[in-house]
Amino acid sequence: MKTTLSIITLASMLAAAPASADFAINIGAITVAPDDSSSSLNVIEQVAGLPSGSTAVGVNPNTQLGLTFDYRINPNWAVQLIAATPFSHDMAVKGSAIDGLKVGKTKHLPPTLLAQYHFMPQHQRFDPFIGVGVNYTLFFDEQIDNQLISALQALEVTTANDKVSLKAKNSFGLALQAGVNIKLTDTLGLHMMVSKMDIDTTGRVQVNGNTIQSVDLSIDPYVAMVGLRWML
């Protein structure tokens, strides 16, 4: 319900935007730092004789080129679209005797649309803001790691002739943001922001197309960006 209301609010603001609204482009380094948690690898725990609930899946951080677009609707309100080059994350087991076992990797694109409230738009230099919006995360190019393949073969779950793969479900959730724009000249400035995004997926280990292990993974990252700002 909250996500639906956010979409309606953003759409209404865009529809009401005047023709003279200001644009800005922000380019810089953007980092996704997961605050992750997951369900346990219950099937693998059972086969390997590990304590129930002793394992989880962790995701490492990654930094890419960030590109965001601001559309100033009025002195206090703006809409921002966050984009980036594809993020790449390694996944590994956390906990138990197989702690650190590499599960695989995936790439994702997390386009995010936010409505921003600017507290001091009249200020000549500093422009702090907060934002709320929606995030859609597209997972692709999932690759299973040879360490997991070898472990499954050692446990006699699979053989060398089996095709083992990894799949991740796309995600849709809320995003919160805070940041500041710093004006250097009439057309150039700095852009700094941090966001908290709701990204939940289900990872599936498949053998010959059949799922043998399913894990609910909450990535829920902090996303931080520092970059240059061009005002058009």
Domain span including residue 109: 2-231
Distance CA 113, CA 92 (A): 30
Average pLDDT over residues 127-156: 95
Give the residue among 141, 78, 64, 83 at the shortest CA–CA distance from 114: 78
pLDDT at position 42 is 93
pLDDT in tens, 175-206: 999 999 999 998 999 999 999 999 999 999 99
Residue 32 sits at φ, ψ, to 5 deg, of -105, 115
Specify the CATH number for the domain of residue 156: 2.40.160.20
pTM for the predicted model, two decimal places: 0.86
- The tally of domains found in the chain comes to 1
H/E/C letters for each residue in 10-64?
HHHHHHCCCCCCEEEEEEEEEEEECCCEECCCHHHHHHHCCCCCCCEEEECCEEE
Distance CA 56, CA 32 (A): 20
Q: Evaluate if residue 38 carries a pLDDT over 80.
A: yes
Give the residue among 40, 49, 94 at the shortest CA–CA distance from 203: 40
Question: Is the Cβ–Cβ distance between 202 and 214 less than 8 Å?
Answer: yes
pLDDT at position 232 is 84
pLDDT in tens, 107-127: 999 999 999 999 987 667 999
